[in-house]
Structure formats: C-alpha cells, structure tokens
C-alpha cells in the first residue's frame, strides 16, 4: 500500500502548501479569501486541493477532479501591489482568471514561482 508521501514523490505529483486567493474571474473582481491549499503542478496545469495531500492522492482516482487552472498562455509574475503580504506572485490565465499565491518562506515560493512560470512559458510557446 502506498502512503501519500511515497505517491507524491512520483514525477508530476510533487506538491506544496501555499496560501492562495482568486482575485478576478474573467474580468469580474472577486473578494479576496486567502486559504491554504495543497498545490500540485502537472504537465501544464496547476491543481489545488483544499484539504490535504491525502485529498490529492484520493483525487487521482478516476472521476474525481481537483480544482485547477490551465497554465497554457498564462502570465506569471511577482507582485507587491495586489497584497500587503510578502512573497506574492500572480497568475493570470488565458481565460482571465487572476490568482495570487503566497508563502512566508521565500525559498519555497521562489522555487514554485520559477517552476510555474517555466511551465506557463513552455506550454504557451508549444
């Protein structure tokens, strides 16, 4: 039997806990609501799990889908204007969703910013 930490070491299943809020949905401004999410980067999508790594593992079962965004054509950039929190970057998807991701731990957020930005850039030019 596989436990969550073994599963998450498989390629494509790496994840991290980050603070997340959606600020806009296709041009419609939303009220901020920061929540802790388990964030998983797959080939060209970012998946969010509200509860835990365990939920992420359960979601690998067919028929259960995570909340997520397609990174194809997305713009990923650091922002100091959209939040008073430190270490915040914004993802703007092609469909006009705007998300903020944040962690107090700079090495963590920096690594995930780079990975997500690289994925967006790579999938946009494909």
| Binding positions for ligand I3S, rule: CB under 6 A | 32, 34, 83-85
What is the nearest approach in angstroms of ligand I3S to the Cβ of residue 28?
Answer: 15
Q: CB-wise, 8 or 98, nearer to ligand I3S?
A: 98
d(CA 81, CA 71): 22
What is the nearest approach in angstroms of ligand I3S to the Cβ of residue 58?
Answer: 29
Q: CB-wise, 8 or 18, nearer to ligand I3S?
A: 18
Contact 79, 123 (CB under 8 A): no
């Amino acid at each position: 039997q596989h436990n969550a930490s073994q599963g998450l070491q498989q390629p494509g299943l790496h994840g991290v806990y980050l603070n997340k809020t959606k600020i806009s949905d296709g041009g419609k401004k939303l009220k901020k609501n920061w929540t802790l999410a388990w964030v998983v980067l797959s080939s060209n999508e970012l998946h969010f799990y509200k509860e835990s790594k365990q939920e992420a593992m359960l979601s690998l079962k067919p028929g259960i889908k995570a909340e997520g965004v397609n990174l194809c054509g997305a713009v990923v950039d650091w922002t100091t204007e959209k939040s008073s929190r430190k270490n915040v970057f914004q993802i703007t998807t092609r469909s006009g969703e705007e998300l903020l991701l944040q962690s107090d731990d700079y090495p963590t957020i920096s690594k995930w910013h780079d990975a997500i930005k690289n994925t967006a850039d790579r999938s946009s030019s494909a």
